[in-house]
């Protein structure tokens, strides 16, 4: 009986070691193996400053689509809202994000929200101040 136990013990140890290696390999996305290259992954719509500067209240949907491209999210429940999101990631590390939400009333652009949104309020108040100064 002891002879059979001693013959199966090396196989059992090898199988156990193989299972541990397979478990660690399966968890490889949670920690990086040294020397493994991770590519940059881009997701969403690239939104540049030049594109945002071209947006103005009153543009129709076709003009906005020409400037910004097709929105990443066209919500079926909110037809007047277009979302532009962008994410640049290297493995689990986020390198860059942008977020822009455009709102329409009918067919006209009325406002933009998000950290990358243009500040139309200052432009209009500046032009109102210039008009008031020219009238005085």
Q: What is the DSSP letter of 39?
A: -
CB 97 within 8 A of CB 28: no
Confidence band, pLDDT 50/70/90 cuts, at residue 20: confident
Q: What is the pLDDT of residue 64?
A: 93
Average pLDDT of the chain to the nearest whole number: 78
> What would you report as the CA-atom Rg of the chain, rounded to the nearest whole angstrom?
28
pTM of the model: 0.61
Predicted pLDDT of residue 55: 92
Place of tokens 């059979």: 4
pLDDT one-digit tens code per residue, 50-97 = 999 999 999 999 999 999 999 887 778 888 999 999 899 987 788 888
User: How far is residue 98's CA from residue 26's CA, in Å, rounded to a whole number?
Assistant: 32
* Structural tokens at position 93: 């590390």
Question: 38-118 has which CATH code?
Answer: 3.30.1450
Domain ranges of the chain: 1-30, 38-118
């Amino acid at each position: 009986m002891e002879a059979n136990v001693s013959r199966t013990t090396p196989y059992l140890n090898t199988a156990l070691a193989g299972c541990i290696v397979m478990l660690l390999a399966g968890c490889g996305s949670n920690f990086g193996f040294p020397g493994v290259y991770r590519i940059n992954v881009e997701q969403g719509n690239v939104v540049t400053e030049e594109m945002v500067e071209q947006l103005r209240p009153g543009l129709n949907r076709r003009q906005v689509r020409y400037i910004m491209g097709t929105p990443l999210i066209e919500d079926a429940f909110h037809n007047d809202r277009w979302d532009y999101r962008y994410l640049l990631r290297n493995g689990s590390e986020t390198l860059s994000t942008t977020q822009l939400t455009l709102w329409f009333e009918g067919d006209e652009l009325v406002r933009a929200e998000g950290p990358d949104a243009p500040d139309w309020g200052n432009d209009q108040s500046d032009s109102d101040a210039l008009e008031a100064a020219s009238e005085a």
